[in-house]
Each structure stands twice: as structure tokens, then as C-alpha cells.
Amino acid sequence: MRVEEPGGPDAVTINPDQPIYQVNVFTRLSEPADVPEGQRGYRVSEWKLYEADVPQVLAWAAEKAAGRPYIVSVASAESGDDAYLIRLFGQDPTRGEALYVRLAVLE
């Protein structure tokens, strides 16, 4: 992890009052036994979450995923016609990402 002071002349801060989150849950498809593990596919279920904060979204996503891989993203504020999903948590098994991110909640 690298940590830097925020800001700078080109820094833009966006603070939407009601961010929109997206949760993608990946379910392994049933494939014939002769299909190699690395070539098996996934079905992706997507949900948009509104009126929630990050801990609520992460808890909902973990419960919904029930052990399956998942990604939690937040929609960026629209700039012109462009909007982006920014990943907050998780890994995409369809991209060959080997790293599973684990959530530790500190109280």
C-alpha cells in the first residue's frame, strides 16, 4: 500500500449526497467435466443499491454472495455524458485476478 497526502492543483473532490453502488456476484456455470477449470464461465448477477452507506453495502453484498466472488463498486458522478464504476471491494474471476481481497471490519 502506498499513502500520499491528498490534493494538488489538479485534484477534484466529488461528494455526492446519495451515491449509487453496484454489486456484481459471480456464479460458476455448470460445465462438462472435460472443460478445464481456467476455461469455465460465470454468470454475473448485478444489483444497484441506493440510500445506503459503505458498511451497509459491504454487508449486504457479502450476505448476497454467500461465498461466491463479488465486486462492490460506486458510480462516479457524471461528468458530461461519462459515468464510471469505481471498484471499492472484491475481485473479478473472469479477469484472471488471483488476489482475493478480504474484508476486516474494525470496531
Tell me which residue of 66, 62, 64 sits closest to 90, measured CA to CA.
Answer: 62
Q: How many CB atoms lie within 10 A of CB 34?
A: 5
Amino acid (one-letter) located at 61: A
Q: What pLDDT, in 10s, does the model give residues 64-105?
A: 999 999 999 998 665 556 678 889 999 888 886 544 444 333
Q: What pLDDT, in 10s, does the model give residues 19-37?
A: 889 999 999 888 777 777 6
Cross-strand pairs, 48:
22
User: Does 53 score more than 50 pLDDT?
Assistant: yes
Tell me which residue of 78, 93, 77, 76 sits closest to 24, measured CA to CA.
Answer: 93
Full-model pTM:
0.72
Residue 24 pLDDT = 95
DSSP 8-state code for residue 78? P
Q: Which residue has the higher pLDDT, 8 or 89?
A: 89
